[in-house]
Amino acid sequence: MIWINGDDMTDDNTSGVNRRNLLKLTAVAGVVAGSGLLSARTATAEDGLSLKGKRIGISATGTDHFFDLQAYNAQIEEVKRLGGEPIAVDAGRNDGKLVSQLQTLIAQKPDAIVQLLGTLSVIDPWLKRAREADIPVFTIDVGSVNSINNSTSDNWGIGKDLALQLVSDIGGEGNIVVFNGFYGVTPCAIRYDQLVNVTKYFPKVQIVQPELRDVIPNTVQDAFTQITAILAKYPEKGSIKAIWSAWDIPQLGATQALTAAGRTEIRTYGVDGSPEVLQLVADPNSPAAADVAQQPAELGRVAIQNVARHLAGETLPRETYVPALLANKQTVGEVSKKLGIG
């Protein structure tokens, strides 16, 4: 997932390489998506896990986004459900605070630490110190070599689902405008690559060049301005069929620009399941066509279950994938309900 303040905008090079290698190895993204589904299902189906008498450090980068808050609260609940004692701390999206809270957590010697998001270069030295202090480290959406297991969304599946929805919606032909400002961020790169993989087999689908660059901060305003300019450049209806972005905040700005310009025949696509974008998808008159939502609460639960597994002596995979949910005009109600929105 991609957050507006760029918390996971920086990703570890090594983990990026790993993921790309994985992509090459599997070649067919669907296989990865399938295995991700499988591992996530076993994670919830099994019980008999226990954290009795264990103190679990839960370190959140912030809880001001929908995603963070859901994942954070779900972790606390899950630790309690399994009989453990959560030590939950929230850095309020301040890196200095985050490092301090990790430092204090390490000194408290909990039975495990679960880190939710965070800029890798900032937190990794401290995750390493935790590991050196023999505290098992787990992460959610952070690919760190110092973490035993990373619970994350399956970005190959996300990218493929979104691309297939887009291509099918536009009838397999037409021009699409793409925001590709964060190809340096691994999850964004995977999603973009999947779009390219899919459109390769639909030769009548063209990505408009040059691609647009989304920015942080002021993402919404900037996307609005850029799309308004594109609309002026392509004034006749049908010359642009869809707008794609690797996350849904540029999608928000793009959708607003389309509505403002009366070009609601163009559809928008994005990822993350931000409540405001899901609301637009739910509006039958809005050009927002689809948004792939991650399951933050499920990510939080899976991470804690993995802690319990590890402490029980099980060997864990490097990453556990939690499937994402595609919200389009038909499924958005169901997805929102599942995510606990509205």
Partner 1 sequence: MLVDSPFIPASALEIEAQKSLEPPGSGPAFGRRLATLALRGGALAVFVGVLVVFSAAAPFFLTIGNIGNVLGQSAIAGVLAIGLTIVIIAGGSNVVTGGIDLSLAANMGLSAAVYASLVQAGQGDGVAILGALGTGLAIGAVNAAAVTLAGIVPLLATLAVMNVVAGLELVLTQNTVVPAATDFLSALSAGGPFGIPVLAYILLGFTFVVAAVVQYTPLGLRLYAVGAFPDAARAAGLPIRSFVAGSFLASGLCGGFAGILSVSYLSGSTTGAGDMLLPVVVTALLGTVFSRRLVPTITGTLLSALFVGFLINGFQLLNISSTLVSGVQGLLILLVVSATTLLGRKESI
Interface residues with partner 1 (CB under 8 A)?
A: 5-6, 9-10, 85-90, 92-96, 99-101, 103-105, 107-108, 119, 121-122, 124-125, 216-217
Choice between 4 and 316, CB closer to partner 1: 4
CA dihedral 131, 113, 340, 294 (to 10 degrees): 0
Query: What is the closest distance, in whole angstroms, from the C-beta atom of residue 147 to partner 1 in the complex?
Result: 16
Choice between 23 and 307, CB closer to partner 1: 307
Query: What is the closest distance, in whole angstroms, from the C-beta atom of residue 74 to partner 1 in the complex?
Result: 16
Q: How far apart are CA 234 and CA 155, in angstroms?
A: 31
Query: How far, rounded to the nearest angstrom, does the alpha carbon of residue 136 sit from its chain's CA centroid?
Result: 24
The tally of CA atoms less than 13 A away on the side-chain side of residue 70 is 18
**DSSP secondary structure letter of residue 212:** B
Choice between 97 and 309, CB closer to partner 1: 97
Query: What is the closest distance, in whole angstroms, from the C-beta atom of residue 333 to partner 1 in the complex?
Result: 31
Report the interhelical angle of 66-81 vs 296-311 (nearest 10°): 40
H or E stretch at 114: strand 112-116
Choice between 98 and 230, CB closer to partner 1: 98
Query: What is the closest distance, in whole angstroms, from the C-beta atom of residue 73 to partner 1 in the complex?
Result: 11
The tally of CA atoms less than 13 A away on the side-chain side of residue 155 is 23
Q: How far apart are CA 73 and CA 198, in angstroms?
A: 36
Choice between 26 and 100, CB closer to partner 1: 100
